[in-house]
Each structure stands twice: as C-alpha cells, then as structure tokens.
Amino acid sequence: MATNETEIKINVKDDDFEEKVIGQSKKVMVVVDFWAEWCMPCLMLGPVLEKVIQEYKGKIILAKLDVDQNPILSQKYRIDSIPAVKIFKGGKIVDEFIGALPESHVRERIGRNIN
Amino acid sequence: MHEKAKKLIEEYREYAEANGFRLNPNTKAVEHLVQALLKNEEQHGKRYCPCRKIHNDESVCPCIYHKKEIEEQGHCHCYLFVSKDS
C-alpha cells in the first residue's frame, strides 16, 4: 500500500514504467493516465481521477504518463486517442477506458476493479 | 491571442453552425484547442486533433469522427464542437 499522500500520484516515464507501474501493481492497483497538455478532455479527466483515487487512501496509485514525452510506451500500449486510462493489477491490464468519463463512471470503473 | 487563432476560431464557428452544431461555448477551452491545432500544423504539417495520436487525414480537424461523436455523446472527442442542445 502507498503510505502517504505524495505517493498516491506519480509521474512515470518510458524508463521507469516497469518499476513504478508493472512492479508496483503487484502490490497495489495502479491506474495509468495517458495524457498530454494540449488535450482538453485530458485536463478535465485528470482532477476527476485524482479525486476518486484519493478516496481510496493509498490503496491505489495514480500514474500520469505524458504521451508527448514518452513515445515508446505510447506505442507499446497503442495509445491512439487520449485521455486513455489503463488499470494495472498483478502486472497486467485489467481494465481500460478512453475519454473524459463523468465522475460517476470513473468511480464505478475504479470501484469494480479494486476488489 | 494572435490573428491566425482568431481567424481559425471564426472558421470553425461558421463550420459548426453550417452543420447543425456549435463551437464549445467555453471560450478558454476553444482557445486552448485552437492553439493546439495550430501547434500541430506548425510541427507536423496539418491540424491534427490534439487528442488523437495517429496523424493521418482522418484526424485532421474537423476529423472524420466528429459528427458521429456529437450525435452520440453531445460533443466531439476533444470538445471543440458540441451539440446545440448540450
């Protein structure tokens, strides 16, 4: 479990994704937000993800990945449209969605995967 | 905001009205998106949607997906265009 607030939201890159997402997801659920600064729905979804994930008090990590700065992972995970969210547990993707979903939908998607 | 952006916003406004929908009434959002489109044009040659990472003719704004998205969701994926009743 993440132990304090600063660990709940992290930025990840091409060269630390393996450790910070794949590795960590074997201990806690990791929600990866593929985003870019010029993408309006990304800027809308970001705060919603943070709000929902914070409510889980360390049981979930939110990993932000800027697709413009990290082309290798964007290609590996076939990110065609953003925002794209992929939920990792046990080293694997267990769920994913695209677009700025309303808070209730985000809450439902996170909630269904946490258990 | 520079003249090129203002002109493009007006073009998209006219396009939206001619096609039965409208520009997002959030002017800040529209300015942000138009800046992104112009940035893509400068860097990649065409006004590719800032939310689509595959750069081909399908994703040049207005993209081939926008009308269906507006009809089904009330807005195009990047929120530049919205339905009249949204």
Rg (CA), chain A: 13
* Contacts with A34 (C-beta within 8 Å, 6 or more apart), sequence order: A65, A67, A74, A77, A79, A82, A83, A84, A85, A86
The catalytic site residues of A sit at 39, 42
Contact with chain A for residue B74, Cβ under 8 A: no
Token representation of residue B60? 């040049």
Global pTM value: 0.90
Per-residue pLDDT of chain B (86 residues; tens, 9 = 90+): 789 999 999 999 999 999 999 999 999 999 999 999 999 999 999 999 999 988 999 999 999 999 999 999 999 999 999 999 98
Q: What are the pLDDT digits (tens) for A43-97?
A: 999 999 999 999 998 899 999 999 999 999 999 999 999 999 999 999 999 999 9
Rounded CA-CA distance A113/A90 in Å is: 12
Disruptive mutation site among A39, A66, A85, A98 for chain B (greatest number of B CBs within 10 Å): A39
ipTM of the shown complex: 0.84
